[in-house]
Structure 1
Amino acid sequence: MNLVKSALLASVMALPLASSAIADTPANALIVAQNIDDIVAIDPAQAYEFTSGELVTNLYDRLVQYDAEDPTALAAGLASDWEVDAETKTIRFTLRDDAVFHSGNPVRGEDVVFSLARVIKLNLTPAFILAQLGWTAENVDQMVTADGNSITIKYEGDFSPAFVMNVLAARPGSVVDKEVVMANAVDGDMGNGWLNENAAGSGPFKLQGYRPAQMVRLAANADYFKGAPKMESVIIRHVAEAATQELLLESGDIDMARNLTPDQIRGFDSDAIKVETYPQAAVHFLSFNQKTDSLTDPAVWEAARYLVNYKGMTDTIINGQMEIHQAFWPKGFPGSYDETPFGYDPERAKSILSDAGIETPITVSLDVINAAPFTDMAQSLQASFADAGINFEILPGTGSQVITKYRERSHEAMLLYWGPDFMDPHSNAKAFAYNSDNSDNNYAATTTWRNAWAVPEDMNAKTKAALTEADPEKRLEMYRELQAEVQKTSPIVIMFQAAYQVAMDADVSGYVNGATSDFVFYRLVEKN
């Protein structure tokens, strides 16, 4: 064993929960190695980090939720059924009668009212998601009410009920045990301090132990209304180094490694380890600022779509990290548009530019985050666009520098990515297909405004219409049509969707990793 391996092994043996000898993990426990030092809060009213989102999903339930059986379909959660009255902007939910909190307390209507109001009144980071429904600290007690197991939710604004349902299915819609939480409240914090070290949910797992940046231990909830998880426990060990995760997996000390590099993934050749790839929510795009005169002709936008070497990049520099996706709503979410009509065709691009009377060469600065794989992607774009006379001058910067320029609209071209705040197509449609006021003093956190693209009024109208459409299936079709239009006619060239690879023991099955951290499910995991 070389010195590097020896040092790694020594560090492994010093980790919490590390075994003293190489051996298979227990048959009734799933052992996961993961970098979990991003966690700031685990209270669902405050949690806003990737890993905390995973924990909230496995510890808590919502009235309606996306679940392990099908992360793309909205399903009943704590509510067994509901009635929608779009005319009065009211949804009435009936609680199921077989849900209990981990404490043994039954889930009651007043727990739901308390939980949703608590998010608004604490007004911590994710509160804006529920606040979209017109809820404020002053009115939420009238907007969310309960009569026994019947919960009435009112909302303000021209929203489709489907939009409201997706908001309620988001992380801050998680229901907490009022009795337990308020018993641990200190100085009017509504239990926030206690819930950042403990949990009070009804989900498939109970929080058995939590040590920040060290370990999370989950125990199966045998009384879960959908049935007890197959694993009696899930232990998530904080292992920051990818090399250590790899060594732990190969030695049999863990069942799953969550943060390996593409090179490590490609290096596995053992039948004992398998790799699963999961599409993620972030879409990666190239955009053109409409304040730059040479980039305002739609022929430039059209030609650009044929100058991206999509397959060349996914086969090499971003292999395993991204897949080709050319629409603003991610694949794997309801309403996604998965057609990919564009491919690398420099001759066609040159013809488009020539037919439009556009003189080349065109020189454009391209801002990019100075980190892999973004700089590699920028170099690929530089090479392929040069084939048609569009010359990129790459300007690398830190993430904050690049995003600041983007928000200031001071860039020319930008290589960046975007992800939704919650699982409703409007979350991205407002960013890629809406901009009703393009003035400099009307800042909007959208790709359209940041690229100074005055979205055509008919597209603005279609985006608003989709938001208000009451029929769920018709609404999703409206978003698909909107994505197809943006795909063809905007100065934003959507190229890829992020992918996430997880390496695990070949005996592990049933792990579900949806497109966001809110859709990581351990309930169906088993070892064969």
Structure 2
Amino acid sequence: MRTNRTRVLGAITAGLAVGALVTACASGSATPSSSSDRDDTVIIGTGATPQTLDPILASDVQTDFTVGGAYDKLIDYDDDGAIVPLVATEWTYNGDATAVTLTLRDDVVFHSGNPLTAADVVYTLDRIASLGIGVSSFLSSYASSTAVDDTTVEIALNGTNTTFVGALSKVYILDSALVSENEGSDQGQAWLATNDAGSGPEAILDPIRDLGGTDGQRT
């Protein structure tokens, strides 16, 4: 059955091998070590090749679809349009809504084994603001952020904005230590184009740009 499925997906123009690691957040393990682990590997076929696996470009539908399972967000929206907590468990605006304080979970672990802390959130937000591409368009009110401690982030806004927290649904949190090791001269864009620095339930193991044939089609 798995062979047939792979063959069918191989007829699609692009794909991605993704390890479905249900316990990734708890164990920090994302490297298959046995045949049973390989049974958790699936191939996602996409109709078009994503621009990159860098979640900063998750404003692009194809990229968002491809990387969404590999990264965690601070918050998201439910089907009724209400904000629901994910990594951020609480958020509080100051009196004039020019700053937001986030409280984070303390049990999230990146695929690398590094714990997710407030420093990773600050790194991710600052990187988005610095590069000014992709999801940065949703964070125009962002000025700066500070890690008060491992589970508290203070975000300063450049003006009153009572809806800023909603924009955080577009932000996938990066493993700052791992990306920093591979930053190069472009804040990690080249490395993240083909690598995973997330903490989500799926770990990207092997990006595949072409599943066969010069035009991406199998015959």
Would you say same fold, with TM above 0.5?
yes
CA distance in 2, matches of 1:50, 1:213: 19
Output the amino acid matched with 2:106. Answer: D
Task: Report what 2:126 is aligned to.
Answer: 117
Output the amino acid matched with 1:154. Answer: A
Contact 2:76 2:169 in 1 (8 A): yes
Mapping for residues 326-475 of structure 1, pairs under 5 Å = none
CA distance in 2, matches of 1:30, 1:164: 36
Matched, 1:179 2:177: yes
Mapping for residues 309-328 of structure 1, pairs under 5 Å = none
Matched, 1:43 2:41: no
Task: Report what 1:209 is aligned to.
Answer: 206
Identify if the C-alpha distance between structure 1 residues 92 and 240 changes in structure 2 by more than 3 Å, giving closer, same or farther: farther
CA distance in 2, matches of 1:14, 1:123: 35
Moved over 3 A (4+): 12-17, 26-34, 70-73, 238-241
Contact 1:103 1:200 in 2 (8 A): yes
- 2:191 aligned counterpart, secondary structure: helix
CA distance in 2, matches of 1:214, 1:63: 34
CA distance in 2, matches of 1:63, 1:13: 35
Identify if the C-alpha distance between structure 1 residues 199 and 86 changes in structure 2 by more than 3 Å, giving closer, same or farther: farther
Task: Report what 1:144 is aligned to.
Answer: 145
Output the amino acid matched with 1:92. Answer: T
Task: Report what 2:67 is aligned to.
Answer: 56
- The correspondence for 2:194, drawn from 197, 204, 215, is 197
Contact 1:41 1:47 in 2 (8 A): no
CA drift of 1:144 comes to 0.9
CA drift of 1:194 comes to 0.4
Task: Report what 1:97 is aligned to.
Answer: 106
CA distance in 2, matches of 1:13, 1:72: 36
- The correspondence for 2:159, drawn from 157, 160, 167, is 157
Rg bigger for which structure?
1
Task: Report what 1:434 is aligned to.
Answer: none
Q: How far does the alpha carbon of each residue in 1:381-418 deviate from its partner, in whole angstroms, 9 at most, with x for none?
A: xxxxxxxxxxxxxxxxxxxxxxxxxxxxxxxxxxxxxx
CA distance in 1, matches of 2:113, 2:120: 14
CA drift of 1:199 comes to 1.1
CA drift of 1:104 comes to 0.7
Task: Report what 1:85 is aligned to.
Answer: 94
Output the amino acid matched with 1:57. Answer: G
CA drift of 1:56 comes to 2.9
CA distance in 2, matches of 1:61, 1:182: 18
Mapping for residues 280-291 of structure 1, pairs under 5 Å = none
Identify if the C-alpha distance between structure 1 residues 35 and 90 changes in structure 2 by more than 3 Å, giving closer, same or farther: same
- 2:91 aligned counterpart, secondary structure: strand
Output the amino acid matched with 1:152. Answer: E
Contact 1:109 1:150 in 2 (8 A): yes
CA drift of 1:214 comes to 3.6
Output the amino acid matched with 1:145. Answer: T
CA distance in 2, matches of 1:35, 1:190: 29
CA drift of 1:180 comes to 0.2
Output the amino acid matched with 2:145. Answer: V
Task: Report what 1:317 is aligned to.
Answer: none
CA drift of 1:167 comes to 0.9
Output the amino acid matched with 1:89. Answer: T
Gapped runs of 5+ residues in structure 2?
1-6, 16-37
CA drift of 1:122 comes to 1.4
CA distance in 2, matches of 1:153, 1:115: 12
CA drift of 1:27 comes to 7.9
CA distance in 2, matches of 1:31, 1:184: 26
- 1:165 aligned counterpart, secondary structure: helix
- 2:177 aligned counterpart, secondary structure: helix
Contact 2:9 2:44 in 1 (8 A): no
Higher RCO (CA 8 Å, separation ≥ 6 residues): 2
Aligned-residue sequence identity (percent) comes to 28
* Count of matched residue positions in the alignment of Structure 1 and Structure 2: 186
CA distance in 2, matches of 1:117, 1:27: 38
CA drift of 1:84 comes to 2.4
Output the amino acid matched with 2:107. Answer: D
CA distance in 1, matches of 2:76, 2:132: 22
Contact 1:64 1:169 in 2 (8 A): yes
CA drift of 1:209 comes to 1.1
Gapped runs of 5+ residues in structure 1?
1-11, 18-25, 216-237, 245-528
Matched, 1:108 2:156: no
CA distance in 1, matches of 2:207, 2:104: 30
CA drift of 1:182 comes to 0.7
Contact 1:79 1:96 in 2 (8 A): yes
Identify if the C-alpha distance between structure 1 residues 87 and 14 changes in structure 2 by more than 3 Å, giving closer, same or farther: closer
CA drift of 1:198 comes to 0.5
Q: How far does the alpha carbon of each residue in 1:240-266 deviate from its partner, in whole angstroms, 9 at most, with x for none?
A: 79xx9xxxxxxxxxxxxxxxxxxxxxx
RMSD: 3.2
Q: How far does the alpha carbon of each residue in 1:146-201 deviate from its partner, in whole angstroms, 9 at most, with x for none?
A: 111210112133432xx21111111xx211001000101112x1111100100101
Mapping for residues 436-515 of structure 1, pairs under 5 Å = none
Identify if the C-alpha distance between structure 1 residues 240 and 84 changes in structure 2 by more than 3 Å, giving closer, same or farther: farther
Output the amino acid matched with 1:176. Answer: L
